[in-house]
Amino acid sequence: MYRLRLFEKLLKKSKKIVIYCHQNADPDAICSAYAIKFLIKNLKKGVIVKIITPGGMNALAKRVVDFIPIESITEILSNKADLIILADTNNIRQLGNHYESLTNLKIPLVIIDHHTTHLDLKKSTSCIIINEKVSSTCEIVYEMYKRYKLKPSKKIANVILIGIVYDTRHFILASSKCLINVAELIHFGASIEDAISIMRVPLDKPEIIARLKALQRLVISRADNWIIAASEVNSYQASVARILNYIGAHVSIVGGRNNDRFIMSLRCKENFHKKTGIHLGKDIAIPIAERLNGSGGGHAMAAGINGIGDIDDIIEKCIDKIREKLS
């Protein structure tokens, strides 16, 4: 409750607010940002709120915007704002080319997220609203609506539900409380059929080819009794990592290159996380990213790293870190 009171105080002092999603925004990022925008507009009349998606959105987020028009921009507006909010974002390095514009600003910063926040960002943040126990930022935002006794419109209920469907992998990762929230959103007019339909996209040929190429380049390692599958492909790293887990790997590490930077996606099975206690975001992605002066973070069973370096070397560092945690 203290954090919400602090959030309200910051809103009262603000006339222009910018909400940032992480680069290549996914449905949870864009949907939570949209729901936050209208939460703010309900709490303070006349405030100007803009959503910024650095580097645009991923394919599924674009489908959401086609279904429910959500206005966002990619230009830098941080120097024109009284308050900056990071939605579904735990590290300003995830803001792509907007990162530099935010590093020296003396504007209040709020984080609303379900990932572990980086220590360096905590020092410069005015208000942190984080719950790592939920599967999506949209769940946190819906809880904020309830705390403020605000009933979401049918449109907002749909937006929040879509974000939940995406980040819970169609409810596979949903908790009992999450499902209660889903039932409430349906009561407010959200359509579970529409949400699932938007998130169900047939694989296109480039993604299929990326998966097959990754299988050709597959390297298998062992850490105790756990199987680690690693590969390299320059697109669809997260998709490849998921499929490697699906076909049997306990941990998957997939790297790729985007110009001079690498992108690394890490995934693990639930039984690996539960039996070892290893949190891919906290224990693997963040410490390795810090050593490389890159950015990293994520969940217990899904994380990412990006920065500058040799892909094979980064994969080896990830495997070594996992072995270190197991020993």
Span 204-227, average pLDDT = 96
What tens digit of pLDDT does each residue of 312-325 get?
999 999 999 999 99
Average pLDDT, the chain: 91
User: Strand locations in the chain, DSSP E?
Assistant: 16-20, 48-52, 83-87, 109-113, 127-130, 219-223, 226-232, 251-258, 261-268, 295-298, 302-307
Q: Where in the chain is the domain with CATH 3.90.1640.10?
A: 2-199
What three-state secondary structure class fits 70? coil
Q: Give the closest residue to 86 by CA, choosing from 167, 188, 18, 157.
A: 18
- Assess contact for 115 and 129: CB atoms under 8 A: no
Q: Please name every residue paired with 251 in a beta bridge, in sequence order, or none if there are none.
A: 228, 268
For tokens 């449109």, the residue is 155
Span 207-222, average pLDDT = 96
User: Strand locations in 118-190, DSSP E?
Assistant: 127-130
Q: How far apart are CA 197 and CA 184, in angstroms?
A: 20
Question: CA distances (Å), 15 to each of 44, 50, 83, 101, 137, in order?
Answer: 9, 11, 8, 20, 24
Span 215-220, average pLDDT = 97
Q: Where in the chain is the domain with CATH 3.10.310.40?
A: 205-326
Q: How far apart are CA 52 and CA 49, in angstroms?
A: 10
Task: Tell me which long-range contacts 73-77 makes (C-beta under 8 A, separation of at least 24).
Answer: 76/52, 76/101, 77/18, 77/50, 77/52
Q: What's the order of all strands across the beta sheet hosting 302-307?
A: 219-223, 226-232, 251-258, 261-268, 302-307, 295-298
Q: What percentage of the chain reaches a pLDDT higher than 90? A: 72
Query: Is the pLDDT assigned to residue 34 strictly greater than 90?
Result: yes
In the chain the first and final C-alpha atoms are separated, in Å, by 40
Q: Give the closest residue to 26 by CA, choosing from 274, 291, 299.
A: 299
DSSP 208-270: HHHHHHHHHT-EEEEETTEEEEEEE-SS-HHHHHHHHHHTT-SEEEEEEEETTEEEEEEEE-H
Q: With the CA atoms of 268, 271, 277 and 281 taken in that order, what torsion angle do they form, in degrees rounded to the nearest 10?
A: 20
Query: Is the pLDDT assigned to residue 119 strictly greater than 60?
Result: no
Which two tokens mark 134? 């939920």
Question: 73 pLDDT band (50/70/90 cuts)?
Answer: confident
Tell me which CATH homologous superfamily contains domain 2-199.
inorganic pyrophosphatase (n-terminal core) (3.90.1640.10)
Query: Is the pLDDT assigned to residue 165 strictly greater than 90?
Result: yes
Span 299-311, average pLDDT = 91
Question: What is the pLDDT, as a whole number, of residue 173?
Answer: 87
Span 54-70, average pLDDT = 90
Q: For residue 13, what is the DSSP state?
A: T
Given phi > 0 = left and psi -120 to 50 = alpha, else beta, which region is 88? Answer: left
Query: Is the pLDDT assigned to residue 9 strictly greater than 80?
Result: yes
- Assess contact for 281 and 263: CB atoms under 8 A: no
For tokens 């693990």, the residue is 268
Phi (first) and psi of residue 306, to 5 degrees: -145, 150
Residues 205-326, CATH architecture: Roll (3.10)
